[in-house]
Amino acid sequence: MGDCRRVGVAVDFSPCSRKALKWAVDNISRSGDHLILVTVRPEGHYEEGEMQLWEATGSPLIPLLEFSQPHIMKKYGINPDPETLDIVATASRQKEITVLMKIYWGDAREKICESIDSIPLDCLVIGNRGLGKLKRVIMGSVSNYVVSNATCPVTVVKSHD
């Protein structure tokens, strides 16, 4: 990937992750960048050999053309929403950026941090669901964990819904 910047955005196809993606496209990405959507699926038990391989290393980098096709994404157990696909397709066209997706399986906090070093990413944008203090203590905030443990700059886009 040479001299281009690799801008990561953690996505789970929720309104809050779409807001973070839109923010990254509008404020960080520029021509020539690689915008890499990092998504984490819960751990599962997969029979097929390639899924078992990917469980350890994450999927290969999937180009926009492929992750826009539902029949291809079904193999990964992912169903990107039309709004997210529209944001990245428009960004790819208008800003001349390369959009890729990388899928991991396991704990979102650990896998997002792992992606920073394994891809590697120059920076990461992540949404924040705005959980109350009690829910955050019980469930643990993914964004708090990532900010505390990431090896690159992290921007948290707050959701005020």
Q: How far apart are CA 98 and CA 55, in angstroms?
A: 25
Tell whether the torsion through CA atoms of 89, 90, 93 and 97 is positive or negative. negative
The answer as to whether 86 is a domain residue is yes
The answer as to whether 1 is a domain residue is no
The answer as to whether 76 is a domain residue is yes
Burial 41-69 (b: 16+ CB within 10 A, else e): beeeeeeeeebeebbeebbeebebeebbe
Which pLDDT does position 74 carry in this prediction?
87
The answer as to whether 18 is a domain residue is yes
Which pLDDT does position 1 carry in this prediction?
47
User: Which residue range forms the structural domain that includes residue 75?
Assistant: 6-158
**What is the total count of domains within the chain?**
1
Query: What CATH number is attached to the domain comprising 43?
Result: 3.40.50.620
pLDDT in tens, 42-93: 876 555 556 666 777 889 999 999 999 999 888 888 889 999 999 999 999 9
The answer as to whether 152 is a domain residue is yes
The answer as to whether 85 is a domain residue is yes
Q: How far apart are CA 119 and CA 5, in angstroms?
A: 12
Query: In sequence order, which ranges of the chain are alpha helices (DSSP H)?
Result: 15-27, 49-57, 64-67, 70-74, 82-95, 108-118, 133-139, 142-149
Are 141 and 131 within 8 A, CB to CB? yes
Could you tell me the pTM of the whole model? 0.88
Q: Is 76 helix (H, G, I), strand (E, B) or coil?
A: coil
